[in-house]
Structures are given as C-alpha cells and as structure tokens.
A and B are shown apart, each in its own frame.
Chain A
C-alpha cells in the first residue's frame, strides 16, 4: 500500500530535550515536505526536499532541522524544543513538480512543556 508513515504519532516532551520525528514514504517520490498545523493558521511549510541531499527552508523553519540521506526518509529534528513548537506536524511527499498532488502522513501531535 502506498503510504507516508510518521513516528511517533504523539509525543510529550520538555523544553530543550532534542527530539526527532521520522517520516518515510514507499512511493519513490522525489519531493518531501514538512508542515505544521495550528488552529486558525492552517498548514504552514517548515522545510522541503527536492531529492536526496537537497533541502531548503519553507515559511517557518526557525527551530527545526531536516536531513535527506535516503530518498524514502525525511526526518524532522528539533534540537532544543520550545513550547511554541507545540503543534500538529505533517509530512508529505509527491512526485517532483507542483502539479502533482501531495500525499500526507497521519500526523504527529507534539506537546512541549
């Protein structure tokens, strides 16, 4: 089954404790992206990757890092999480090009206390 998976689905952590949210897709997609969803703000792009070893900032990259060492994986790293990063995070993938629909993972709900 074609899918995007994220782990963990739920995470509660404390300020400053480094964490990684994993994202994996099995569709051989070149393009992957991370979004955060906040009430009243919709979804905003954090980082994206056009292919292996090619990543760049989206609209709200502060406080986040990403890496793309393999085509299928695109982890999101919070080196020093803060409460304002409490949010619902989605990973997405698509074939290259903005005319292609993006496929979304189930989401990771992160709470930073």
Chain B
C-alpha cells in the first residue's frame, strides 16, 4: 500500500538557521507529491508540488523541495527560517487509490518550532 513517512515528529531550529524536513514515500508509479503547511488553528495551505520535470521545485514563502526518485524522498528545505514559519508541515502523495478515487495520502506531520 502507498504510504508517506515523515521521520521527524518535532524539529526545533533557531530563527535564521536553515531547515530541512524529511519525507519518504512508497508508491509504485510516478508520484505526485505535495507539501502542505498548517498554522495553529488554520487549515492546510499548499506550499509546493511536484508532478514531473525539474526535480527541484520552488514554492511559496521561500520553500523548496527536491524529488529524489532513487531515495523515494521529497525533502522540504528553506535556507533561513523565520519565526512565522512555526507550524506543522505535511508531506502528501496524490494517488489513484483504486476505482475513481483521487486521494491524498498524508504523512503524520512534522511540527516545527522556531526559537528566537
């Protein structure tokens, strides 16, 4: 079965430091990969997505992610974290789960804390 693993439940970084959030997926076909962010009390906002082509994708808020097929990974990065980046981050794979269902399978999330 398709799955998404985010190995880090909680990460703490200092403001201005670089950030990398890890995501590994298990999917038989070409994956459609997404990163979403959820700020406290808010819904999920799409940061970026990978469908095909260039394996380094740029997103909003200065985030980028790199698709590595050989490692089944889609890690999210940001060169310099701001206090407003504190949130929970979800990696997801879009899949045809059988029949006509086009669903997202989510990882369990990584909570990011930013220290001043």
Contact = CB atoms under 8 A, between A and B. Distances in A.
B102 A90 contact: no
Main secondary structure of the interface of A (DSSP, over half): strand
A104 B43 contact: yes
Contact of B42 (A45, A56, A106): A106
A108 B92 CA distance: 21
A104 B101 contact: no
Interface in A31-88: 31, 33, 40-45, 48, 50, 54, 56, 58
Nearest to B107: A42
B61 interface: no
B66 to A, nearest CB: 19
Contacts of A97: 102
A90 B44 contact: yes
A104 B44 CA distance: 6
A40 B107 CA distance: 10
A48 B103 contact: yes
Given A43-B90, A98-B94, A101-B49, A58 B43 contact: no
Interface in B76-116: 90, 94-96, 99-104, 106-109
A45 B109 CA distance: 15
Interface string B22-59: 00000000001010100000111110010100000000
B42 A98 contact: no
Interface in A85-110: 90, 92, 94, 96-107
B35 to A, nearest CB: 10
Nearest to A43: B106
B9 to A, nearest CB: 8
Please provide the 4 A-B residue pairs with the shortest distance between their CB atoms, ordered closest to farther: A98-B102, A98-B94, A42-B108, A104-B44
Interface of A: 4, 31, 33, 40-45, 48, 50, 54, 56, 58, 90, 92, 94, 96-107
